[in-house]
Structures are given as structure tokens and as C-alpha cells.
Amino acid sequence: MNFERIREKLNILADAAKYDVSCSSSGSKRSNTGKGLGDSSGMGICHSYTEDGRCISLLKILLTNHCIFDCAYCVSRKSNDIKRAGFKIQEVVDLTINFYRRNYIEGLFLSSGIFSSPDYTMERLIAVAKKLRLEENFNGYIHLKSIPGCSDELMREAGLYADRLSINIEIPTVSGLKLLAPEKDHKDFIKPMEKVKNEILQFKADRKVSRKTPVYAPAGQSTQMIVGATGESDKDIMYSAVHYYSTYNMKRVYYSGYVPVLQDERLPALGTEVPMLRENRLYQTDWLLRFYGFDVREILNKEYPNLDVDIDPKLSWALRNMHLFPVDVNTADKRMLARIPGLGMKSMYKILNARKYRKLNWEHLKTIGVALNRARYFMICDSKTWEKRDLEPHRIKSLILQSSQSKYQKMYNDQLRLF
Amino acid sequence: MALQKLIYDGSFEGLLNAIFIVYQEQLDDAEILEERFYEPDFFAEAQQVYTDDTKATRVWEGLRKFPQFSASVYRSFLTELPDKEIYILDAVRYVLKTKNDKDYGQPSVLKLAQLTKQVGREKHRMEAFVRFKRTKDDLYVALIEPDFNVLPLIAKHFKSRYADQQFLIFDQKRSYGIFYDLERVEFVTLDFDDQQLKEALHQEEKHYDKMWQDYFVSTGIKNRINKKLHLQHVPKRYWKYLNEKNPL
């Protein structure tokens, strides 16, 4: 094996793949039977973290960065003058196995530039996964990218070897896509999603009849949207996220702050700061929708098309709905407990357990781990002291901001200065 | 009655025996501690606990009626903290008496839940931060120095993951390891020599070591650099055995 050449390719093709933020390795059910290599039945594991603090769980590479498309936001676009390279199928297999055996990774995340045709590209991706599963008896995690415009038959085959399939919608609005990727058709993204969704449902139904039915993409499918490339509002982004969650049963929608890599008049200039804080607020909203029982229209609507940057979306919702507070933690139902700012799901379950035995006071709540600096304005408990002043929402907000030192403070000061 | 100090050998069975004695002799004011932390003291009576498997099993059976709680007793024990027995004994008494095994309003029960979480985190970190190096005779070796004694907890994970690969994970701090011979995982004690390991490495090892470091660098995004977050996830005390931080 020519290690020097492989190293060179790895550097080029890992560099090109890093803008895909998904690195999840959880949610699969592939256990190691028959003394093979690897097991992905448990939780996901982050084996390291990059210096920007993101999880490294998978070997995330492109099969090649040759591409026939010229999408403005993509570093591998045809017209970009960069070094190009391509892996052989066996090379990817060897790298994956050897990294996995050393416990560097949970598995492979394989994407690719589109060369010759979508189907040809997809076939090569599938060939890697198939080889890993059938020849190497590999049960680690495999995440394959679905190539826009590839055929239904290939999508069906891909799911038999991959744990997760994903296709990045990248631009949340159809008009934005027209502007930045004129050669790509919105429908080409939707078709593979639709196919994967239907196959997952079909395989699940078959599995109920026969336990021998193979698993199909057991960790589901996901997608990604670029944030801050086309001037879209937070409402645009979250409403389309909700659409993908509900229509295509997405496991995850990822939000990726646009990193300016190319000079293009349609895009933010080089050197523009990556909107990391905004990205964080979008993820918080995503969590509120998936785990906390919020409806997207409560958080983002015509009157409030954008999230606050200086406070989290739950707090900002609560400040707009003061008539629902304060909540009594000793009697409130799950739904309302989950809506108290500063109180997460884990604390909520601890409270539900603990209050069976005694009435909880501030001391209990503090040891349980509730962020009282925010929560105290919105709850009462077994204590004679609580916030008795009738505070206006903006007053509460400033009290909270004064009492806390947000790790983002520097960032939102910078970002606010722009206005 | 004066304070009774129950001194045990440091094994989990020993701890269970000490708990047995507390109940058998109805000691209201007892303190359990490991031999290595014991210092004779004028005001307390000390009693050496002898480890007896049948008594240990009896106590364990009793605790097992509360599956989650008994697991947290074991995990709290693995912290090796000098005062862990104080919380364990208090929580055990409370839970056996009231049957309220999830009452996080009780300080010791909450403390055990917190210790359990810490141990769980360390276990998970070790599942993530173990880095194997391949030797010429196809054994994959990893060195670790975990904060808590988590080797017994991670054996199962590595066995089901590397079913077709011989491995040794060695805890340098506690001088013992787990060895998998393709059949079962065994605890082993041996003298470990870093230099010997270096010489025994397979020739391809340096290439994969290098490629992993390259990958670590090229997968990061410079415009987003956030060293503080990075350190929070990968604290410096683990760097020694991470080859992306500490190359061959």
C-alpha cells in the first residue's frame, strides 16, 4: 500500500468533506453477531473533537471531489481552482477498517462530488458500503450520502448497507436554490428522500410479519441546511425544517452556519464571520420542537420571524407569555414544567420523581440542577420567598442578562453592533 | 455507644460485608472505610471486616431489588473516593428502610446519583479515548489512566466491538489491564514497559498514526476555531494517550 499517496488523498478529501456537519453515530441497531468487526447497537461515541469543538465520530471523506456541478456555496464546485483527487473503493475500505480497529472512529461517512452521472456516483458509494458489510463483516456505522437525481433502485440498495442516508437540502428556500445552484432541481433532492422514507416504512411493516427481514437504514435519514448564505429568516429555516421532519420522517435536520470559502457576488463576502450564535439558537429551537412539546408557530411567526440572539428561544417565548406563569413545580403537569426557562428535560424528570416524596423548595431545585437565575421568575415552590414584584418582561430580561455571563456575550455584542 | 469503624480490604465484596455487619450488629453510629485510608484514632473502636462471599451475596441480593440504585452503589464504589462509604451506607439505609430508591430529595441518594453520573462519563470517555496500537503479533494495545476505576465497566463494550481482534487495555495508574484472547476477557496484572511496546509495534502503525493526526487537522474548520470548547470536550489530562495530540 502506498501510504504517502493515500495520505495526500486523505488530506484533500477530508478537507472537502468537513462542511457536512452531521457526525452522529447513534440510533442504529446493528449488533455484532458471528465474531465480526464492530457493533453499532449502542449509543454514539465521539472519539475526539476538532479544535472548533465539533465531534469526530466518523471518518468523514469524499470519494472524490471532482464534480460536474457548479453550486456557488460548495468548495468542490467545478469552477473552483483546487487540487482534485479520488479514492479507489478498496482504499476507503482499508482506511475505514484500520481506523476502526484502532478505535479512532465509529464508522464511515462517505459523500462524493458528482462525476459522470448521479447514478454512476451513487453506485460507487454503495460499492464501498457493500464491500465493508459483506467482505469485511463490518458492523460499524455507515452514513452514505444520497446523490441528488439518482434512481430509486439505487436508493433501495443503499439502505440495505448503510445505517443512515442523508441528502442535504442546503438552501432552505426554492428561490435561494435557483440563485445559487441553477443546474440543480429541487425535485432531485426530494425524490431520494421520498424513496428512503417509503422504504423505511415498508421494511418496518415487513419486519412485523417476519423477523428475518433485513434492516433498512436503521438510523433513518437526515438533511442539512446552510444558515446565512441567502438572507433567509429564522422562520424560513425552521418552517422548512418542520416540513422535512414531518413529511419525510427525518431523524435530524442539521443547521450549518455558512463558512465563506469562495468569492461570489451572490454570497456573503470572504471574511464574513460564521453565524455560530444564530446556528446555536436554531438548534435550541429544534430541540424545543422535538423534545419539549413546542409548536414552531409559538416560537416563530409573522410577528417574530427571527430568534432573539441575546436570550435562548424558550426564555424569549416565556417572556412573551407571562400570563402562563408562575408555574408551581410541585403540582404542574409535565407539559408546563418543560416550558419553564432554565429547566431541562433531565431536571424535569428528577422533579417528577422527587416530588412524589416531599414538596420541593429552592434548595432541592438547586441541587437537582435547575438554572434558577432564569427559572426563579417563572415558578413557585414550597417556600415563602418567591418573586413577588410584578415585573415587566423587559425588566426580567435585563435582570437575567445582568446576573449571567453568557459564553456568547462577546459574539452577540459584535453581531449587534452591525445594526 | 462509641463510633464504630469498620475497616475493609478495599474490594466491593468487602464493602458489602461491612454493610452486612452494620445490620447484623445493629450499629447506629458506624463508619466504613478502606484499609488504606485508616488511621487509628483514640475515640473510635475499630473492627477489621473479613470478606465472606456468602454474606456479600446476601447483601447484594437485597440491593438488587432496586436495580438502578444497586448499580449506582457499585459505580459510586468505583470512584475510589475516601469518603464514598459514608454516602453509600447512608443511602443504603434510607432506601432499604423506605423503599424510595429514586428520592433525589434525600442528600445521599442524590449524591450517589451524581457520583454514578461522573463514573458513567468517565466510562464513556474511555470508550471514546482508548487508542489501540497494533503490534507485530497482531495484538492491539491501549494504555489509559482513567480518573475512576472503570476497566470492569468497559470490558463488555470492547469485547462485543472487537470480537475478532485480540486486545489489551492497560490501566497504568492501577497497574492492571483487561486482555481479550478472542474467547473471553480476563483481568491481567503485568509490568508494563513503554519502550518494549514501541519496539513491538507493527511497521504500518506509524502510517496510520500519522494519517489520523492529519485527519484530525483537516477535518477542523479554521473559521470556527473554539479552543475553549475543544478543551471542555477533550481535557488536557487525557492528551497523553491520544495520538492526535501526542504522536508516536
A38 and A161 in a single domain? The answer is yes
Q: Tell whether A227 is covered by a domain.
A: no
Who among A35, A54, A407 is closest to B164 (CB)?
A35
Distance separating alpha carbons of residues A228 and A268, to the nearest angstrom = 8
B102 close contact with A: CB closer than 8 A: yes
Indicate the residue type of A34: G
Q: Is B210 exposed, middle or buried (0-12, 13-18, 19+ CB in 10 A)?
A: middle
Contact predicate A64/A113, CB 8 Å: yes
Q: b/e map of A270-296 (b: 16 or more CB within 10 Å)?
A: eeebbbbbbbbbbebbbebbeebebeb
Question: Which chain B residues contact residue A36 at CB under 8 A?
Answer: 163-164
Mutate to test the interface with A, among B114, B218, B225 (most CBs of A within 10 A): B218
Question: Which chain A residues contact residue B111 at CB under 8 A?
Answer: none
Mutate to test the interface with A, among B223, B233, B245 (most CBs of A within 10 A): B223
Indicate the residue type of A202: Q
Question: Which chain A residues contact residue B105 at CB under 8 A?
Answer: 354, 357-358, 360, 364
The answer to whether the Cβ–Cβ distance between A98 and B208 falls below 8 Å is yes
Question: Of the residues A198, A213, A228, which one is the last residue of a structural domain?
Answer: A213
How confident is the model over A57-105, as pLDDT tens digits?
999 999 999 999 998 889 999 999 999 999 999 999 999 999 999 999 9
Q: Is B54 exposed, middle or buried (0-12, 13-18, 19+ CB in 10 A)?
A: exposed
Q: Tell whether A175 is covered by a domain.
A: yes
Q: Rounded mean pLDDT of A216-233?
A: 92
Helix (H, G, I), strand (E, B) or coil at B6: strand
Who among B130, B163, B222 is closest to A36 (CB)?
B163
Peptide bond into A326 cis (omega under 30): yes
* Helix (H) or strand (E) segment spanning residue A148: none
Please determine, for residue A415, whether its predicted confidence score (pLDDT) is greater than 70. no
Question: Which chain B residues contact residue A350 at CB under 8 A?
Answer: 104
| pLDDT of res. A419 | 40
Q: b/e map of A231-244 (b: 16 or more CB within 10 Å)?
A: ebebbbbbbbbbeb
Question: Of the residues A213, A248, A265, which one is the last residue of a structural domain?
Answer: A213
DSSP B118-139: HHHHHHHHHHHH---EEBTTSE
Contact residues, B window 12-41, toward A, CB-based 8 Å cutoff: none
Residues spanned by the domain of A137 = 3-213
Distance separating alpha carbons of residues A143 and A108, to the nearest angstrom = 6
Alpha-carbon distances, residue A369 vs A335, A345, A360 (angstroms): 19, 11, 13
B159 close contact with A: CB closer than 8 A: no
Q: Tell whether A290 is covered by a domain.
A: no
Q: Tell whether A65 is covered by a domain.
A: yes
Distance separating alpha carbons of residues A96 and A128, to the nearest angstrom = 10
pTM of the model: 0.90
Question: Which chain A residues contact residue B143 at CB under 8 A?
Answer: none
Contact predicate A95/A59, CB 8 Å: yes
Please determine, for residue B205, whether its predicted confidence score (pLDDT) is greater than 70. yes
Residue of B nearest to A57 (CA): B128
* Helix (H) or strand (E) segment spanning residue A364: helix A362-368
| pLDDT of res. B248 | 74
Query: How many structural domains are present in chain A?
Result: 2
A69 and A178 in a single domain? The answer is yes
Mutate to test the interface with B, among A2, A7, A46, A50 (most CBs of B within 10 A): A50
Task: Give the bridge partners for B31, in sequence order.
Answer: B5
Contact predicate B158/B141, CB 8 Å: no
pLDDT bin (cut points 50, 70, 90) of residue A408 is: low
Copy the grid coordinates of residue A42: 449502542
Copy the grid coordinates of residue B125: 470517555
The answer to whether the Cβ–Cβ distance between B129 and A99 falls below 8 Å is no
CA A276 to chain centre: 14
Residue ranges of domains in chain B: 4-121, 130-241
| pLDDT of res. A264 | 86
Torsion, Cα B66 B71 B77 B78, to 10 degrees, reads 180
Who among A35, A274, A367 is closest to B110 (CB)?
A367
Torsion, Cα A9 A12 A16 A21, to 10 degrees, reads 70
| Other CB atoms within 10 Å distance of the CB of residue B213 | 16
| pLDDT of res. A406 | 65
The answer to whether the Cβ–Cβ distance between B229 and A53 falls below 8 Å is yes
Question: Of the residues A213, A237, A263, which one is the last residue of a structural domain?
Answer: A213
Distance from CA of A3 to the nearest CA of B (A): 7
| pLDDT of res. A272 | 86
Q: Tell whether A301 is covered by a domain.
A: no
Please determine, for residue B149, whether its predicted confidence score (pLDDT) is greater than 70. yes
Residue of A nearest to B210 (CA): A7
How confident is the model over B65-83, as pLDDT tens digits?
999 999 999 999 999 999 9
Q: What percent of chain A has pLDDT over 90?
A: 66
ipTM beyond cut 0.90: yes
CA proximity to A11, closest of B211, B225, B242: B211
B219 close contact with A: CB closer than 8 A: yes
Q: Tell whether A225 is covered by a domain.
A: no
Copy the grid coordinates of residue A327: 408555574
Residue A380: DSSP 8-state: E
Who among B210, B220, B232 is closest to A52 (CB)?
B220
Residue A270: DSSP 8-state: T
pLDDT bin (cut points 50, 70, 90) of residue A273 is: confident
How confident is the model over B23-69, as pLDDT tens digits?
999 998 899 999 988 888 777 888 999 999 999 999 999 999 999 99
